[in-house]
Amino acid sequence: MNNRNYKREEIQGLVFSNLFAFSVIGITRALSLHPGVFIYAEFVIIPFVMGIICSWFWKNLELKGARVTALSVLNCTVAILLSAIFLGEGVICLIIVSPLIFGFVITGTFVGRAMFKRDNRNLNISVLSLLLFLFVADSLSKHHYESKVSDVIVINAPAEEVWKHVVAFERIKEKNKFWLFKVGMPSPVAATVDGYYEGAGRKCIFSNGYIFDEKIVQYKPLENLTFDIVKQPRDPEIMGHIDILRGQFLLKDNRNGTTTLTGNSWYRLYVFPLWYYDIWAESITRHVHLRVMDHIKSLSEKR
Amino acid sequence: MFAFTVKWLGFLKVIPGLPLFFDALLKFSMFIIKPKMLEWLDEIESEVGSWEGVTLSLHKYGGVQFNYKGKEIGHLHGNGLLDVLFSRKMKAELLAEKRVQNHHVFKNSGWVSFYLKSDEDVQYALYLLKLSFLLQKNSLS
C-alpha cells in the first residue's frame, strides 16, 4: 500500500461498504430468513456490492488499478476480521471463505469502476436492481443440501482382521498430511464403542477433544458397520457449517487374503453456494475418511 | 494455474461474471506474489488509454480491453498476459522475432499472446498495442 496517506473518500468506501454488508447480514438474521444457513447472496452478492459501493466513493479519485486492488484487499481484510468478531467465525472458516470474498470484492470494485466511468444511469440502476432481485430471491429460497462421500482402499489382510479395527480403533499416532489438519482443523484420533451390537453407542474422538456421539444402526460382522451421528460439537471451525449425518464402513472379502474397505459419509451443508463449498466439504470429509481408513489399514497389516 | 484453468475450466467462461471473478483472483494473486505487475498493468492502461480514439472496457473474459473506434485491438489479463490482434501476415513476422507466442487459446488466428515478466516488457507490450492500433487506424481511414 506504499506509505501514502489514505484520502477521505477511500476511507469512506471501506467504512460504508462494510457497514452495508454487516447491516444486511444483521437484517436477514433478525428476520430469520434462513436461520443457521449462510447463503450465496451473503458470499457473492454482498461482497460484489461492497466493491461497487467502494467504487462509488472512489469514482472521482482517478485511482490506478494497483491502488484499487490494494484498497480492495484492505477492504476484504477488514470484512474478514469483522466476521471473526461479529459472526464468531474461526480461522479455518475464514481461510475457506477468503477466496470468495477477495474475488467478489475485487470484481465488484472493478465492475463498479467501469460502471461509474461510463456514467450510464440506466445501466447502473439495471445492474443494482438485478443484484437486489438475486439477493431477495436467494434469501427467500429454500436451502437444503445433503450429499455423500465414498472412499475405497484395499487392505492386505483378511476381513476378520480388518473388522477388529473398524468398530473401534486405538489412538492414531501418525502425523497429519492434509494441510487443513496441519493448520488446526480437528482430525479424528480414536473411536470407542459401548458394545458390539445394533443400537450400541460409539464415540469418534477428534484431536481437539471433540466427541461425535454415534449410534450403531447396522451391525453385520465382517461386512457392514453403519452408524448415525446423534450429537456433534458446534464450534466456529467448520462444525457449525456442516453436519455429518451418518457414517458407514463396508468390507468385502476379496478371497485372496485382501479386503476392500469402503468408507461412506453422509453430510448436510449449511453454507452456499454449493459449487464452492461442496468442493471443500467433499475434500474435508474425504480426508477424515482416509485418516481413519489408512489407520485401519496400518493396524490390520501389522499382524 | 492460468493455463490449467483456461485448458480444463475454459468452458465455464460463458457463465456471466465468472471470467471477471477469475481475473480478480489473478489480480489478487499478483498483489500477493508480484505487486510490480499491477503497476505495469496501470502503465500500459494509462498509456494506451491516452491514444486518440482509444477507449477502455472490461474484457468479456476478464481484464481490460483496448478498443479503437469500437473495435478491439487487444486486451490485458490480470496476470500480465497481453493478447493483441493482428493480420496473419503480421503475426508471422512477429512470431519470427520470438518474443510473442500464438494466442494461448486461438492458436490459428491472428491473435498473439505476450507475457509481461519485467519492466522492459512493458515497452514491448506498448509497441505491440501501438502496432495493432495503427493498423486498425489505417484500415478504418
Q: What is the CATH number of the domain that holds A151?
A: 3.30.530.20
In a domain, A270, yes or no: yes
A107 pLDDT higher than 50: yes
Q: What ipTM describes this predicted complex?
A: 0.80
Interface contact B21-A65, CB threshold 8 A: no
Q: Which grid cell sits at B126?
A: 506498448
Highest mean pLDDT among A84-93, A124-133, A259-268: A259-268
Interface contact A102-B24, CB threshold 8 A: yes
Are A187 and A130 contained in the same domain?
A: no
| Residue B35: cis peptide before it, omega within 30 degrees of 0 | no
pLDDT attached to residue A3: 47
Are A154 and A211 contained in the same domain?
A: yes
Interface contact B38-A104, CB threshold 8 A: no
Task: Compare all CA atoms of chain A with the CA of B57 and give the residue at the minimum distance.
Answer: A114
Interface contact B42-A70, CB threshold 8 A: no
In a domain, A3, yes or no: no
Residue indicated by cell numbers 443440501:
A145
Q: Domain range spanning residue B123?
A: 2-140
Are A86 and A185 contained in the same domain?
A: no
Is A236 exposed, middle or buried (CB count within 10 Å of its CB: 0-12, 13-18, 19+)? middle
Q: Identify the CATH number of the domain in which residue B90 sits.
A: 3.90.1150
Instruction: Show which of A81, A109, A140 is a domain's final residue.
Output: A140
Q: Classify each residue of A183-193 as buried b or exposed e, where b means 16 or more C-beta atoms within 10 Å of its C-beta.
A: eebbbbbbbeb
Q: What is the DSSP string of A242-265?
A: EEEEEEEEEEEE-SSS-EEEEEEE
B137 pLDDT higher than 50: yes
Residue indicated by cell numbers 436461520:
A35
As for how many domains chain B has, the answer is 1
B139 pLDDT higher than 90: no
* Closest among A22, A68, A21 to A45, alpha carbons compared: A21
A99–chain B Cβ distance below 8 A for any pair: yes
Instruction: Show which of A140, A161, A186 is a domain's final residue.
Output: A140
In a domain, A162, yes or no: yes
A153 pLDDT higher than 70: yes
* Closest among A259, A290, A50, A27 to A149, alpha carbons compared: A290
Are A125 and A203 contained in the same domain?
A: no
Are A158 and A94 contained in the same domain?
A: no
Q: Are A14 and A71 in contact (CB under 8 A)?
A: yes
In a domain, A205, yes or no: yes
B9 pLDDT higher than 90: no
Q: In this prediction, what percent of chain A has a pLDDT beyond 90?
A: 77
pLDDT attached to residue A303: 63
* Closest among A224, A209, A269, A211 to A242, alpha carbons compared: A269
Q: Determine if residue B26 is left, alpha or beta; phi over 0 gives left, psi from -120 to 50 gives alpha, anything else beta.
A: alpha
pLDDT attached to residue A266: 96
Q: What is the DSSP string of B44-88?
A: HHHHHHTSTTEEEEE-TTSSEEEEETTEEEEEE-TTSEEEEE--H
**Best residue in A55, A61, A80, A110 to probe B by mutation, most B CBs within 10 Å?**
A110
- Minimum mean pLDDT among A131-140, A238-247, A281-290, B41-50: which range? A238-247
Task: Compare all CA atoms of chain A with the CA of B26 and give the residue at the minimum distance.
Answer: A103
In a domain, A35, yes or no: yes
Interface contact B25-A99, CB threshold 8 A: yes
Highest mean pLDDT among A80-89, A238-247, B39-48: B39-48
Longest dimension (CA), chain A: 76
As for how many domains chain A has, the answer is 2
Q: Which of A69, A99, A107 sits opposite B38 (nearest CB)?
A: A69
Q: Which of B24, B42, B64 sits opposite A66 (nearest CB)?
A: B42
Of the pLDDT bands very low, low, confident and very high (cuts 50, 70, 90), residue A49 is very high
Cα(A115)–Cα(A48) distance, integer angstroms: 13
Of the pLDDT bands very low, low, confident and very high (cuts 50, 70, 90), residue A5 is confident
Cα(B60)–Cα(B69) distance, integer angstroms: 18
Interface contact A103-B21, CB threshold 8 A: yes
Are A49 and A120 contained in the same domain?
A: yes
pLDDT attached to residue B133: 96
pLDDT attached to residue A96: 92
| Gyration radius of chain B's alpha carbons | 15
Are A76 and A187 contained in the same domain?
A: no
Are A115 and A206 contained in the same domain?
A: no
Q: Are A243 and A271 in contact (CB under 8 A)?
A: no
In a domain, A278, yes or no: yes
Q: Which of A64, A70, A114 sits opposite B57 (nearest CB)?
A: A114
Instruction: Show which of A110, A140, A170 is a domain's final residue.
Output: A140
Of the pLDDT bands very low, low, confident and very high (cuts 50, 70, 90), residue B18 is confident
Q: For the segment B84-129, what is each residue's pLDDT rounded down to a tens digit? A: 999 999 999 999 998 999 988 888 889 999 999 999 999 999 999 9
Cα(B24)–Cα(B67) distance, integer angstroms: 21
Q: For the segment A54-83, what is each residue's pLDDT rounded down to a tens digit? A: 999 999 998 999 999 999 999 999 999 999
Chain B stretch 76-95, residues whose beta carbon is closer than 8 A to a beta carbon of chain A: none
Q: From chain A, pick out residues whose CB is under 8 angstroms from the CB of B30.
A: 69
Q: What is the DSSP string of A8-56?
A: HHHHHHHHHHHHHHHHHHHHHHHTTSSTT-B-HIIIIIHHHHHHHHHHH
pLDDT attached to residue A154: 98
Three-state DSSP at A179 gives helix
Q: In this prediction, what percent of chain A has a pLDDT beyond 70?
A: 97
Of the pLDDT bands very low, low, confident and very high (cuts 50, 70, 90), residue B25 is very high
Q: Which of B21, B30, B42 sits opposite A104 (nearest CB)?
A: B21
Are A121 and A156 contained in the same domain?
A: no
pLDDT attached to residue A235: 66
pLDDT attached to residue A4: 62
Residue indicated by cell numbers 451443508:
A269
pLDDT attached to residue A246: 96
Three-state DSSP at B117 gives coil
Are A71 and A23 contained in the same domain?
A: yes
Are A171 and A136 contained in the same domain?
A: no
Are A199 and A276 contained in the same domain?
A: yes
Residue indicated by cell numbers 444402526:
A217
Sequence-distant (6+) residues with CB within 8 A of A280 are: A96
In a domain, A2, yes or no: no
| More confident: B139 or A195 | A195
| Gyration radius of chain A's alpha carbons | 24
Cα(A131)–Cα(A137) distance, integer angstroms: 10
In a domain, A34, yes or no: yes
Cα(B36)–Cα(B79) distance, integer angstroms: 11
pLDDT attached to residue A63: 93
Q: Domain range spanning residue A194?
A: 145-301
Length in residues, chain A: 303
